[in-house]
Amino acid sequence: MDKPAAAETEAPAAPSEEATAYGAADQSKKPRARIRVRHFARAKRESIRITGLTSYDYLSAKIFDDAGIDFLLVGDSAGNTVFGYDTTLPVTVEELMPLTAAVARAAERALVVADMPFGSYEAGSQEALHNATRFMKEAGAHAVKLEGGERVAKQIRRIVDAGIPVLAHIGYTPQSEHGLGGHVIQGRGGEGLEQLLRDARAVEEAGAFAVVIEMVPSDAAAAVTREVGIPTISVGAGPECDGQLLVWTDWAGFSTGRTPRFVKQYAQIGQTLRDAAVEFQNDVRSGAYPAPEHEYDQG
Ligand SMILES: Nc1nc(=O)c2c([nH]1)NC[C@@H]1CN(c3ccc(C(=O)N[C@@H](CCC(=O)O)C(=O)O)cc3)CN21
Ligand SMILES: CC(C)C(=O)C(=O)O
Ligand SMILES: [Mg+2]
């Protein structure tokens, strides 16, 4: 997906000696071609794995976009990571709207997906379309995501018919935590796999451009990946899906507490920030900060 066919993108940038602050892969001054839903379809056809991270703010979105992450999900996991709730259940459209707008302002290339929060789409297609439209129109999202398979197929169809791409989400669906009886791995056993396959077929049939599969055994996710034509995006669903997505604060070692088994930590941002805060505190107390180079002269 990083290198779409020549017909649909600009020539690759010449290697530049000048590195950006983040050592980005693409040093081109030209705007990079936006990832579109057709690139998801092509990635599956060509077995190019899709990458996604959550993002909730302008600066992190800029960094992930610049690094070449294909899509940024403004997840209702913001309930945990930004707002400090125990679950995603209290999160509202009003809370996610400004976060989505900030991420959309930052993303030049990445596809920005707005996660529809609990209570914003379940009651019916009309409410679902109304709220999906708000994310597109007021926040500048490029697609929306909603949880559920068969049970939300009607809503997916209605939103897609309005020209809004939908990312589906099956397997473990955190907004149904209480209905599912906790953080329970889905898709286990014959009946679990059958339900997962029914859900995957239903969202494909309803027009979803891709489907997130969360917390299911790898074999079950692999079966779904073979069964459906749309790309599957794993959140703890193993290596055989067409893409991988993680909550960025887990992935970067910023989250507090226990992270799920499926997370690989690629940085220790939390420890880095803590060390920096302690050093700042020490410098201020000792008078090492501010130093002459941080002071203004008389002019
Ligand atoms: N910070 C964060 N990371 C996430 O991955 C995430 C959120 N928040 N909020 C929304 C949902 C909820 N998710 C979750 C929540 C809990 C587990 C969890 O506890 N998993 C256990 C296995 C189940 C169990 O035994 O409880 C694990 O160890 O993987 C996994 C995913 C994924 N999403
Ligand atoms: C974990 C992903 C799939 C999500 O829905 C979120 O971040 O809210
Ligand atoms: Mg979510």
Task: Give the tens place of pLDDT for each residue, 218-273.
Answer: 999 999 999 999 999 999 999 999 999 999 999 999 998 889 999 999 999 999 99
Residue 1 has pLDDT above 60, yes or no: no
Rounded CA-CA distance 148/170 in Å is 5
Q: Report whether 220 contacts 240 (CB < 8 A).
A: no
Fold (topology level) of 30-268: TIM Barrel (3.20.20)
At residue 73's C-alpha, the angle toward residues 125 and 229, to 5°, is 70
pLDDT digits (tens, 9 = 90+) for 172-187: 999 999 999 999 999 9
Tell me how far the alpha carbon of residue 175 lies from the centroid of ligand 3, in angstroms. 8
Domain ranges of the chain: 30-268
Candidates 115, 120, 135, 261: which one to mutate for ligand 2, based on the most atoms within 8 Å of Cβ?
115
Query: pLDDT band at residue 8, thresholds of 50, 70 and 90?
Result: very low
CA 271 to chain CA mean position, Å:
23
- Pocket residues: Cβ below 6 A from ligand 2: 54, 73, 75-77, 115, 169, 212, 214, 235, 245, 247
Rounded to two decimals, the ipTM of the complex is 0.93
If you measure from the C-alpha of residue 75 to the centroid of ligand 3, how many angstroms do you get, rounded to a whole number? 5
Across 210-214, average pLDDT = 98
Question: Is 147 a known ligand-binding residue?
Answer: yes
Nearest ligand to the CA atom of 56: 2
Is the CB of residue 237 less than 8 Å from the CB of residue 171? Answer: yes
Number of neighbouring beta carbons within 10 Å of residue 295: 7
Distance of CA 298 to the CA centre of its chain: 49
Indicate if the alpha-carbon torsion angle 82, 83, 85, 88 is positive or negative: negative
Indicate the pLDDT class of residue 32, thresholds 50, 70 and 90. Answer: confident
Averaged pLDDT for residues 206-214: 98
